Structure 1
Amino acid sequence: MPRASGPLAEVLARRTVFLDGGLSNQLAAQGCDLSGGLWTGRVLAERPDQVEAAHTAYARAGAEVLITASYQIGPGHPRATDLLRRSVDLAARAAGAADHEVWVAASVGPYGAVLADGSEYRGRYGLSVRELAAFHRPRVEALLAAGPDVLALETLPDPAEAEALITVLAETDAEAWLSYTVAGGRTRSGDSLREAFALAAAAPQVIAVGVNCCDPAEVLPALEAAAATTGKPLLAYPNDGSVWDAATRTWQSPRTPVPWPTGAWYRAGARLIGGCCRIGPDRIADLAAGK
C-alpha cells in the first residue's frame, strides 16, 4: 500500500492515529553504535539500511506515523542537507512498504539536541527567538524539500523555541505538530504549560499539540492544559519514565514500571499516541491493538 494519501489533520478529526516508538532504542536493539554527538544521526550517516529497518519494525507493529532520524542533525554538520533529506527518504520507503497507510513526520528536534549535552531537558539556551529561528530555518527547509507529510516540532523545552519554530513554520505552507517535554507540571525551562501551549493556539499550521519524552505520569496534566488553551487535537508520546543522565549519556530507569493510562489520554483529547525513548515495537503493537 502506498504512503497515506490524505492530510493527517483530516484523519485526526475522525480517529486516533498511532505513532512509532523510540528510534534510538530500536537501533540499539539492532546492534547499531549510537555513541558520539550525532546519536541516531550517526546511524543515519553510516548505516542508512538500519534506519530503514527500524522504521519498518515500527510499521509492522502497527505504527501509522514514522518519525524521521533527523532529530539531532544541525545546520553545522557538513552533510546536513543530504542527511536531512535522507532521513525523510528512508522513512518514506518504509511507509511505502507497509500494509496500511503510514504518514512520515520529519523530526525537527530542539537546539539543545544538537548540543548533545542534555540541554533539551533544560532549555533557556541564552539565544533570542530570532537566533533560534535562524538556526531552525535551514533544517526545516531541507526537510520540507524531501516531501514529508508533516513536521514534528518535538521535545521543545521552552516557549521561546516554540515561538521561533512557529515563526519559521509560518514562512512555509507546511503543517506540523508541536510537542513540549515537561516535568513537574511545567515545561523543562520551568514555564507555565498553559502559556506555552497558548503560542500554538493561533497558529493554523499547527495541527496538534502535546508532550513527548517525559514521564508518563506527566502526560495527563499537560494534555489538560493544552486542551484548555488551544482546542486542538492532542498528542502524547512519553518515554518509559527513565531520566537521561547527560554526563554518562545513559538512561536511569525507574525502579518499577510506570503505568500508561492511555484511556485517560484518549478522554482528554489525545489523537496521536505513541512512544519516545525506550519504547519499542512491542509497546506500539499493544497500543495499536488496544491493549
Structure 2
Amino acid sequence: MTIMLIEALAARPPLIVEGAMATELEKRGVDTANALWAAMALLDRPEAIRDVHRSYFEAGANIAVTDTYQANIPAFERLGLRHADAERLIALAASEALAAREDYRLAHVDAAQEGRPLLVAGSVGPYGAFLADGSEYTGAYELPESEYQDFHLPRMHVLADAGVDLFAFETMPNLGEVRALANLLADEFPEAQAWMSFSLRDAGHLCDGTCLEAAAAAIDDIPQIGAVGVNCVPPSMVEEAVGRLRSATGKAIVVYPNNGDVYHPGTKTWTPAPGDEDFVRLAPRWLEAGASLIGGCCRTTPDDIRRLARRLGADDGSRGRQG
C-alpha cells in the first residue's frame, strides 16, 4: 500500500470520487436486493465491476472505491463460503478496480493525462452494513473495540495485500466503531492512509447522536487519516456538515452524498428525492466551504460524475476525452 492521498490533494485539488456501484451494476443485470448488495457481483459478474470503475474513470473520477463495502468475511461465510474463498473474493474486488485503472491508463497515454492522480481506495463498510438491516443509517449497535477490530481486520489485510492505495472507512454511524478503526489503522497498518466518512442523522450529528465536531476531533490526532467527511447523506445536509468539520479539524474534507432518493432498508428499495436535490448544482458550495474530495454515493451515475468534474473545474483537459 502506498501513501498517496495527501500528496495527490496537494498536487491537484479537488479530487473527484466515483459514484454509485450498485446502481450501475443493476443496469448491467446484477441483482443487488440481497444481504451482499453490490458485492453479489463478485460471485458471478466481476467483469461488470471492472466496467463500472472504468466508466467512472472515463467520466473524470480520480478515485475508485472497491466493491467491498458489504464484502466482509462473515457475510460470505454466512452464505456457506469458506474463509479462504471469502478472502479471494475481497481480493478480486480490489483487482477489478486496479485493472480498471490500468485499462484506463493504457487507453489514455497522451500527454494530457500526465500528473492526473488515479487512486484506488479499499472500501471498509461499517459493521452495520453486515447486519443488512439499515443499521449503517441508525448506528443502533454496540460492540467492544476488540470485536469491531476482529471484524474489520481480515478484510483490511486482504485489501492492503491486494495493493489498494488507501482505505475508505465509509458510512460510519457509530463513534465507538470510528475509534476502533482509527486505532486499528494506527496499530496494524502504520504505513497506510485512509479517509473516515460518517453517516449522519442530521447535518450536525452522526446517526448514533454523536456531535459531528466531536467525532472529527476524536480522530484528529491520527495522522494516517488524511481526510474526514460524510457520505450517503442527502445533498442538502452537506454544506452545513462541511462547515462543522472545517471548524473542528485541519484535515482534508471528503463528501460524497447520495442523489437525495430515500432508501427503505426493509424492502431494499428507493423513493425518488422529494425535491431538487441535484448534488452537482450544490457541489461548488461544498468546495467553497472547504471540501477537497467530492463525489457521489448511492443512486449517482457516471453522467453525474462527468457533470460534477466539469462543474468544479476539475475537468481541465487533463482527464482525456469524455466522449
Structure 1 distance, partners of 2:210, 2:264, is 22
Structure 1 distance, partners of 2:150, 2:67, is 21
Q: Work out which of the residue numbers 26, 29, 54 in structure 2 matches 1:28.
A: 26
User: Which 4+ stretches in 1 moved above 4 angstroms?
Assistant: none
Match of 1:264 in 2: 285
Structure 1 distance, partners of 2:118, 2:263, is 30
Aligned partners of 1:200 and 1:230 also within 8 Å:
no
Structure 1 distance, partners of 2:273, 2:192, is 38
Match of 2:301 in 1: 280
Deviation at 1:259, TM superposition (A): 3.6
Deviation at 1:258, TM superposition (A): 0.7
TM-score, scaled to structure 1: 0.95
2:50 is aligned with what amino acid? E
Structure 1 distance, partners of 2:244, 2:132, is 29
TM-score, scaled to structure 2: 0.86
Same amino acid, percent of matched pairs? 38
2:214 is aligned with what amino acid? E
Q: Work out which of the residue numbers 187, 205, 210 in structure 2 matches 1:191.
A: 210
1:239 is aligned with what amino acid? N
SS at match of 1:28: helix
Structure 1 distance, partners of 2:223, 2:66, is 23
Q: Work out which of the residue numbers 102, 123, 126 in structure 2 matches 1:110.
A: 126
- Matched residue count: 287
Match of 1:10 in 2: 7
Deviation at 1:191, TM superposition (A): 1.2
Structure 2 distance, partners of 1:175, 1:6, is 6
SS at match of 1:97: helix
Q: Work out which of the residue numbers 245, 264, 268 in structure 2 matches 1:249.
A: 268
Structure 1 distance, partners of 2:34, 2:92, is 20
Structure 2 distance, partners of 1:43, 1:193, is 34
In structure 2, the gaps of 5 or more residues are 77-81, 313-323
Structure 1 distance, partners of 2:276, 2:289, is 23
Q: Work out which of the residue numbers 169, 173, 176 in structure 2 matches 1:153.
A: 169
SS at match of 1:201: coil
1:9 is aligned with what amino acid? I
2:89 is aligned with what amino acid? L
1:116 is aligned with what amino acid? A
Q: Which structure 2 residues correspond to residues 81-92 of structure 1 after superposition, within 5 A?
A: 81-92=87-98
1:55 is aligned with what amino acid? H
Q: Deviations over 1:245-275 (max 9, x none)?
A: 1111111222223143212211222111000
SS at match of 1:27: helix
Deviation at 1:6, TM superposition (A): 7.6
SS at match of 2:40: helix
Match of 1:220 in 2: 239
1:248 is aligned with what amino acid? T
Aligned partners of 1:123 and 1:188 also within 8 Å:
yes
Match of 1:97 in 2: 103
In structure 1, the gaps of 5 or more residues are none
